[in-house]
A and B are shown apart, each in its own frame.
Chain A
């Protein structure tokens, strides 16, 4: 383990990552095409759009919504979204009286299959500490002013459970199709640091 401080000449992370890759390659432990494919897939292809589709379906199909709240992992798998970090997803539903927000206090547990990889702020020590200690103040700083009457519930993700927030469907979206609704749903709304804005 590395509890001791690093010596001054300890190589930087860029060189260590490169060395790691070269050594793993020499040992035949990794295939670079696989590594490149994974990076591309998780950095570019899988994004919050998956989650947005789930939310839009829940808004338009009451039976799907019920299944989603009952067993998030299974309902999300109906879309074919599954994989690492998506083994047990619990969906929590916002209402006019309760607002849910998600954090991982210890590291960065996050539902990759529906939201992609976590943004920088989600991993930041300040967010991880303050959203637990003073969620109302921090949400306000992030641009989400909640009425004092709204209860805020903070969910701490772990390797056992990852959370996805089902935001409230915005006013003015009544006539919109499922695809149009999905376009309204942002990553931040599904983590719970924002609400879905009305269209237009």
Chain B
């Protein structure tokens, strides 16, 4: 693995390599890493401040916890995604309805569908 794009070269194989993620996956599913990467990319481009995002993340987590007092089934990145959707909607960058509509279309793809090989040829019903 090339780490030369990092500001500091890390010893991936040397004696000081071990801690890393300590054997624990940071992302449980691919969509979690997409939600993370998109958020940081938009933040780096200056489309919002980190506090703008963090405030909505805290609110999304608080809503989830209020609705699930036993804490079962907590999905941190579901709250993260929720916060990003709300933020993009609030900033009028991307209406939440557009996301919901597109996601509903994606959900109707036949099983076994290759998520990157599809050219959305079927009709889109975009709002005005």
Contacts and interface: CB of A to CB of B under 8 A. Distances in A.
Is chain B found bound to chain A in the same assembly?
yes
Interface of A: 1-3, 5, 9-24, 27, 29-31, 34-39, 41-53, 56, 79-82, 84-85, 106-109, 116-120, 123-126, 159, 179-180, 182-183, 185-188
Interface residues of B, number: 77
A31 B41 contact: yes
A38 B43 CA distance: 12
Main secondary structure, interface of B, reads helix
Contacts of B98: 19, 23
Given A9-B104, A18-B31, A179-B11, 13 more contacts: A10-B100, A12-B103, A15-B106, A16-B103, A20-B35, A22-B102, A38-B44, A47-B19, A48-B22, A51-B19, A117-B36, A124-B76, A183-B17
A149 B98 CA distance: 58
B106 A19 contact: yes
A17 B83 CA distance: 12
Contacts, number: 206
Contacts of A18: 31, 34, 103, 106, 115
A29 to B, nearest CB: 7
Contacts of A185: 19
A81 B9 CA distance: 11
Contact of A17 (B34, B54, B71): B34
A89 to B, nearest CB: 15
Interface in B47-79: 47, 50-51, 54, 57-63, 65, 67, 71, 74-78
Contact of B8 (A14, A81, A118, A186): A81
Nearest to A5: B67
A126 B70 CA distance: 9
A188 B99 contact: no
A46 B33 CA distance: 15
Nearest to B64: A125
5 contacts: A19-B102, A23-B99, A24-B42, A52-B19, A120-B76
